[in-house]
Structure 1
């Protein structure tokens, strides 16, 4: 029997909905009953993970506890930055699928030593540490490109996924490749809403898709 997946979402809402669709699409099924049961808390009121990490940690812990009480057996959180506040989630006693660890493993499996990361400052810090553990180095955006990236993320959160913001994300990915990135990680769940594998000249690893695959494996 499949295990029940508990999803801590809402960071942001569009990215969470896209993640749920990925889990459904990646689950081998002949009918409804073959799919994974998911208990989902889409909570856009989680405090900002970059500006109020302690408050975010507290609220995420409460969300995880409620999912456990509702019957969740495995936890996942489709927000890279919030993994810095995962201590409270791990403390409640359920298996927690680490998005950062899973994506890092996938991106370096082919031997890449220079890995471009499109992520928030908090996400960059997490990937820097995880990649170092695999013997690889992060390639990150510099200067004005960092602000440009955050502007793209904020645009998605406003519902803007139009051509200009898509073009800007392609430009930022190309900047990482020009700086030596052998592969690129979409290390913010808003990124794949703007950028696809065909938009990047090196392999692109979508952290949300990597997490979705790991959830299917863990629950099936």
Structure 2
């Protein structure tokens, strides 16, 4: 059987610990939903719970939620490690800060209130007055207003809440009181108190009662038996997992950077990402995670001599970025791209190929230039990775290779290597006019031998000469291109919503 024919079950996690009664009820209902799902809707249910010291009156109007936020974050990280596809969070209090947590986590949380809104729109489309039984904290935060009273819903929907006295003496006491549902009392006084709260809402004109506390759903059947038109929000939440699509949840895009190859070039790349990002405030910038590992074996030493193979080290860095929820990987090192093809197939996220982007840039911006002069390490030149990129470009153009490439002769290549690796070279921290003058000698050589565009094919070189579309070489205007700059711009275009709209 082919791999693509194997049907894998969707894995849904249920976070427990934020209310034992409510989360246990949701888990039980989710298990039943999963058991009844058809072959195309197979669901594997996972339950997770850690020790959480909930305060006695977590739903009080001025309750503190810091510990709850951190608990939810930790639990979501646990489900990420368990490779769950999505998570159910049975806690209305936690949904008041869901956006804060979702922005920092890759695993999508199925939105409980959105599921309730969708259910009501489908089953009771003509609703005008909805009674809400929720905690004083959630009520103060306006959670339900966010979903039912915004511009995206019917403007004539009215949310009703119990009178202040009923809210405190009946609703909060029924859930949080000594003989309340949280303490295991699912009948008797707790039902009587909830019934009084429901009657208050019905007297205000409520057409349906929506539990905004997961504990209330555990006794919805008992209230329904007393004639209360109440829905079971835990059941609705469980069933929503069947139709959930991960792409429904947005999160911040994150660029992973394999750093340390070399260290200064890494900083240069990050600065260029920041510079090229359209932003008016901190929050407009792109999330970055850097695996800064200067201990990765030298790429050039491996390619031209008997140096250690850096493949595993580069792969390990990429896997750490993958595990840190990066959406794509940038490697600001030209020579390292000789190893990209070896590892890309084993990663679940793409490496943005700096060399391919550079060739694409030349074709788009300087298509009339046919001879590319390459300044790079001897390892990059020996690996022929740029030449292979040109060959791939030619294959896409029906075999017509419009570009040729030249490199320095032995003497000028020695100058380039001294500029990069010398005792007073860039990797040693020397960025001055003397080193810059050496590099210009190599540029002049390439231009004299026919190059009409120069590629600074080592990420240390742009530390000496910035990208210049009209670089003057003996009176001739020659574009000098910085692949680091080109890579940064491409990453911004892929990651930034603002940049995508502007493109």
TM-score bracket, normalised by the shorter chain, equals over 0.9
Structure 2 residue 169 is the aligned partner of structure 1 residue 169: no
Does the 8 A contact of 1:90 with 1:96 survive in 2?
A: no
Question: Which is further off, 50-59 or 146-155?
Answer: 50-59
1:124-203 matches, within 5 Å, as: 124=381, 125-132=384-391, 133-134=393-394, 135=401, 136-154=403-421, 155-196=425-466, 197=468, 198=471, 200=473, 201-203=477-479
- Counterpart-to-counterpart distance in 2, 1:138 and 1:90: 28
State the shift of 1:167 in Å: 0.5
Partner of residue 274, structure 2: 24
- Counterpart-to-counterpart distance in 2, 1:129 and 1:33: 39
Q: Can you list the C-alpha shifts for 1:90-142, whole angstroms capped at 9, x where unaligned?
A: 42110210001000111233222110011112323111222233411111100
Does the 8 A contact of 2:254 with 2:495 survive in 1?
A: yes
Does the 8 A contact of 1:107 with 1:185 survive in 2?
A: no
301, 310, 326: which one aligns with 1:56: 310
Q: Can you list the C-alpha shifts for 1:20-54, whole angstroms capped at 9, x where unaligned?
A: 00000000011011100000011111101122367
Structure 2 residue 365 is the aligned partner of structure 1 residue 115: no
Q: Displaced runs of 4+ in structure 1, greater than 6 A? A: none
Structure 2 residue 338 is the aligned partner of structure 1 residue 79: no
Count of residues paired in the alignment? 220
Q: Can you list the C-alpha shifts for 1:59-87, whole angstroms capped at 9, x where unaligned?
A: 11111111111121111100010011112
Structure 2 residue 260 is the aligned partner of structure 1 residue 10: yes
Partner of residue 287, structure 2: 37
Question: Which is further off, 66-75 or 196-205?
Answer: 196-205
- Counterpart-to-counterpart distance in 2, 1:171 and 1:126: 24
358, 362, 376: which one aligns with 1:103: 358
Structure 2 residue 478 is the aligned partner of structure 1 residue 211: no
Question: Which is further off, 1-10 or 32-41?
Answer: 1-10
52, 62, 68: which one aligns with 2:322: 68
What TM-score do you get using the length of structure 1 for normalisation? 0.95
The alignment yields a C-alpha RMSD, in angstroms, of: 1.5
Question: Which is further off, 175-184 or 82-91?
Answer: 82-91
- Counterpart-to-counterpart distance in 2, 1:100 and 1:43: 21
Does the 8 A contact of 1:186 with 1:206 survive in 2?
A: yes
Does the 8 A contact of 1:12 with 1:157 survive in 2?
A: yes
| Structure 2: 5+ residue stretches without partners | 1-250, 395-400, 497-503
Does the 8 A contact of 1:64 with 1:89 survive in 2?
A: no
State the shift of 1:162 in Å: 1.4
- Counterpart-to-counterpart distance in 2, 1:171 and 1:43: 32
Change in Cα spacing, 1:38 to 1:199, as seen in structure 2 (3 Å) is farther
- Counterpart-to-counterpart distance in 2, 1:104 and 1:122: 19
Does the 8 A contact of 2:335 with 2:377 survive in 1?
A: yes
Q: Can you list the C-alpha shifts for 1:143-190, whole angstroms capped at 9, x where unaligned?
A: 211111000011100001111110011111111111101111111101
- Counterpart-to-counterpart distance in 1, 2:344 and 2:417: 26
3-state SS in 1 of match to 2:349:
coil
What TM-score do you get using the length of structure 2 for normalisation? 0.42
- Counterpart-to-counterpart distance in 1, 2:261 and 2:278: 27
Change in Cα spacing, 1:117 to 1:84, as seen in structure 2 (3 Å) is same
3-state SS in 2 of match to 1:214:
helix
Does the 8 A contact of 1:36 with 1:219 survive in 2?
A: yes
